[in-house]
Amino acid sequence: MDDACYEVLGRSRRGEPLRHVGTLRAPSDALARAYARWLYDEERWLDLAVVRRVHLLGVDGAGEA
Amino acid sequence: MTSPLAERIQAGFMVESLADTDDAYRRALRETLIVSGDTEFVSAAVLWTALDRAPSLNSQMSLLAVIQDELGHAHIAYRLLADLGEDVEALVYGRAARQFKNPYAFDFALRSWSELAAVNGLFDRAGYTLLGDIHRHTSFGPWKRALAKVAKEENFHIRHGETWIARLAADPATRPEMQATVDWMFPAALEFFGLPDSLKHRQLQLEYRIKGHGNDALRQQWLATAVPFLTSCGLRVPAHHDAARGEWVLDFPFPCAFDADVRRYDFTRPVEWTAVLERWKARGPDCGWFVDVLTRGRGLFGVARG
Amino acid sequence: MSALADVLGGLAAAKHGLGYRLAFAGLSAPAIEAAVATVALAQEELGHARLLYASELRLRGGGGEDEGAVGAAIQTAPPVPELVPAPDDWAQVLATLATLDTALSLWLETLAESAEAWLRSRAQRMLDEETFHRDYLRGWLDVAAAEPRLREGVTAGMSVALARYRPWMDALARRAEAAGIAAPPSGARLESTVSALVAGTLERREGNDDAETVS
């Protein structure tokens, strides 16, 4: 079973930033969404999203060396 | 001699990625994460053995919520290990059962709802003490942030356990069983904190601030809430607070002999820690069963366990 | 009212059995993420069982407004264990979800059209949660489409399950008709709904790009 790594982002309340809340592995976007809902149910999220880790592009030299 | 990284960490440096670490840090962190992951993972199986003991549909649903949380906590530790380069597939699905690093007390199936109550009220309290210390003090940023969820949920588990312990202790029909449960699970919970500091060699976990306090201090923290709670329920607890010494003192020799067949600590037979380590190494009766239940589903994808 | 109460009781017993079996089978899921999801599903199904038991009680004139009180009085073991046998493996978990969970959703859709407003809103609440169960199941059927052993096991499991649930659906439908419910879901409708589900997932041909699987 080929799984991809997904980052999970959530916003608890209006006015708060969208923050990183965890990661998970899933074989599809559909299962990633399903898993995020139940893995991270410690809060009632205003927004919860998943994105494949490969789509996060680091920016070199942006900050601390 | 303290490493440059340890010095930076003692001055407040937070580790955010593999690139920030050195070999010793990675070793200490890996070991701590594996113990945490295995403990949470196997605890889900322990709790699972009490599903049919739940007194009602409501209490079964509450227990399922706890099981769901513990699996989620295991997931956190294993995912962090994967991000540190660990082969988590081999770790979770490739090790023999006896290689899992959960506490000895999690090698035992639950025989009653009072044992379930004590797992939540006493063992989860130990877990919360250990992980709460890490959450507050750890130098490893990703774990510190991930533990916010764990702390919140473990608190709920402790409250769940306390509610049931109080209820079972208050009922004359169930009090004797609740007392018998506390008689073995109180000392078993003390073992969660491992060897006393005096027997530990160089403590990389403290030097690198993987955790904030040593085993002795954490055991004291646990006693400080467990003993008053159990006493408030009218249960006998073999420990008291010594005001003159400013610490909690056990009223029995610790460690002492444990009979796994009848689940009884023998306070008349003190033993050395070497004997305890041998007992832990020999594993408890349900170790193999638990790991099999938790990992057999992976066989579907052609992964066989070692 | 007693015919409708019988239907609700029958559905409650089925949800109870489903949740109970998922609770035990969940721990042996093929991945920790799936174990978390399956145990969560089990809780939701048991919650639905509790709501349906409370609804049945209400119709029989015994209160049933307080779900919590109802749940405190119900034993953990399902009343009709043979209706939902314990799944032997993950393929059977998926087969059970594909058949029984689908059957129960068809019934909830019918109840969501009920003449009783309180029953309509309860059914809709459960249907809203079933949306996520459906997404989860579809995700796994897509995985099974690409894994021959799993696909074979699910297909065989569904065949056995449909043979069990078709007559159960028909018996419940007859009771529903006695309660004045028009066109309640039958065994035949279950079969065609499951076929459509499977055609879009498990039996998807190569080259169909509908599913967003990870390459």
Q: How far is the alpha carbon of A62 from chain C, nearest alpha carbon, in Å?
A: 31
pLDDT digits (tens, 9 = 90+) for B148-195: 999 999 999 999 999 999 999 999 999 999 999 999 999 999 999 999
Whether residue A11 contacts residue A46, with contact meaning beta carbons closer than 8 Å, is answered with yes
Kindly tell me the sign of the dihedral angle through the C-alpha atoms of C61, C65, C67, C68. Answer: negative
Judging contacts by C-beta atoms under 8 Å, the chain B residues touching residue C43 are 61, 64-65, 68
Predicted confidence at residue B33, as pLDDT, reads 98
Residue C208 pLDDT level (bands cut at 50, 70, 90): very low
Chain C positions in Cβ-Cβ contact with residue A31 (cut-off 8 Å): 33, 136, 139-140, 143
pLDDT value for C201: 87
State the average pLDDT over residues C142-162.
Answer: 95
pLDDT in tens, A12-57: 999 999 999 999 999 999 999 999 999 999 889 999 999 999 999 9
Domains and CATH numbers, chain C: 2-199 (1.20.1260.10)
Instruction: Report the alpha-carbon distance of residue C211 to residue C138 in Å, rounded.
Output: 9
**Chain A nearest CA to B100, separation (Å):** 22
Interchain CB distance below 8 Å, B75 and A24: yes
Among A3-7, B203-207, C59-63, the minimum mean pLDDT is found in C59-63
> Across-strand partners of B264?
B259
**At CA B38, angle to CA B5 and CA C139, rounded to 5?**
105
Question: How is residue B287 written in tokens?
Answer: 């170790």
Query: Are A39 and B152 an interchain contact pair (Cβ–Cβ within 8 Å)?
Result: no
What's the pLDDT score for residue A64?
Answer: 61
Nearest to B134 by CA among B74, B218, B225: B218
A5 near C CB under 8 A:
no
Among B residues 49-78, those touching chain C with beta carbons less than 8 Å apart: 51-52, 54-61, 64-65, 67-68, 71-72, 74-75, 78
Q: Which residues pair with A24 in a beta bridge?
A: A6
Report the largest interatomic distance among the alpha carbons of chain A, rounded to a whole angstrom.
39
Give the mutation candidate from A3, A8, A23, A53 for the B interface (greatest B CB count, under 10 A): A23
Contacts of A5 in chain B (CB under 8 A): 82
Domains delineated in chain A: 4-55 (3.10.20.520)
Domains of chain B: 16-237+249-301 (1.20.1260.10)
Q: Is the CB of A21 less than 8 angstroms away from the CB of B153?
A: no
Question: Of all helices (H) and strands (E), which one includes residue B38?
Answer: helix B23-48
Q: How many whole angstroms from its chain centre is CA C149?
A: 24
Mean residue pLDDT across chain C:
92
Q: How many CB atoms lie within 10 A of CB C200?
A: 16
Q: How are beta strands B239-242 and B256-259 bridged, if at all?
A: unpaired
- Are A50 and A36 within 8 A, CB to CB? yes
Nearest 5°: CA angle at B145, between B141 and B146? Answer: 115
In this complex, is the C-beta atom of B46 within 8 Å of any C-beta atom belonging to chain C?
A: no
Distance from CA of B61 to the nearest CA of C (A): 6
| Least Cα separation, residue B3 to chain C (angstroms) | 37
Cβ of C36 within 8 Å of Cβ of B68? The answer is yes
How far apart are the CA of C39 and the nearest CA of chain A, in angstroms?
9
User: Which of B58, B67, B78 has the CB atom closest to C39's CB atom?
Assistant: B67
B243 touching chain C per CB within 8 A: no
pLDDT at A63 over 70: no
Which residues of chain A does B87 touch, with a Cβ-Cβ cutoff of 8 Å? Answer: none
Identify whether the C-beta of residue C212 lies closer than 8 Å to the C-beta of residue C201: no
Start-to-end CA span in chain A (Å):
38
Is A38 in Cβ contact with C37 (below 8 Å)? yes
ipTM of this complex prediction, to 2 decimal places: 0.94
- Give the span between the Cα atoms of B271 and A3, in whole angstroms: 48
User: What's residue C67's pLDDT?
Assistant: 85
Give the three-class secondary structure for C205: coil
Task: Give the confidence band of C205 by pLDDT, cuts at 50, 70, 90.
Answer: low
Q: Pull the structure tokens for residue C169.
A: 């659906």
Contacts of B301 in chain A (CB under 8 A): 1
Please tell me whether residue A18 adopts helix, strand or coil conformation: coil
Confidence class for position C200, pLDDT limits 50, 70, 90:
confident
Can you tell me the distance from the alpha carbon of C165 to that of C191, in angstroms, rounded to the nearest whole number?
9
User: Residue A3's closest CA among A31, A30, A26?
Assistant: A26
For chain B, 306 residues long, give each residue's pLDDT as a single digit of tens: 789 999 999 999 999 999 999 999 999 999 999 999 999 999 999 999 999 999 999 999 999 999 999 999 999 999 999 999 999 999 999 999 999 999 999 999 999 999 999 999 999 999 999 999 999 999 999 999 999 999 999 999 999 999 999 999 999 999 999 999 999 999 999 999 999 999 987 789 999 999 999 999 999 999 999 999 999 999 999 999 999 999 999 999 999 999 999 999 999 999 999 999 999 999 999 999 999 999 999 977 654 443
Distance from CA of A53 to the nearest CA of B (A): 11
pLDDT in tens, C66-107: 888 888 888 888 888 899 999 999 999 999 999 999 999 999
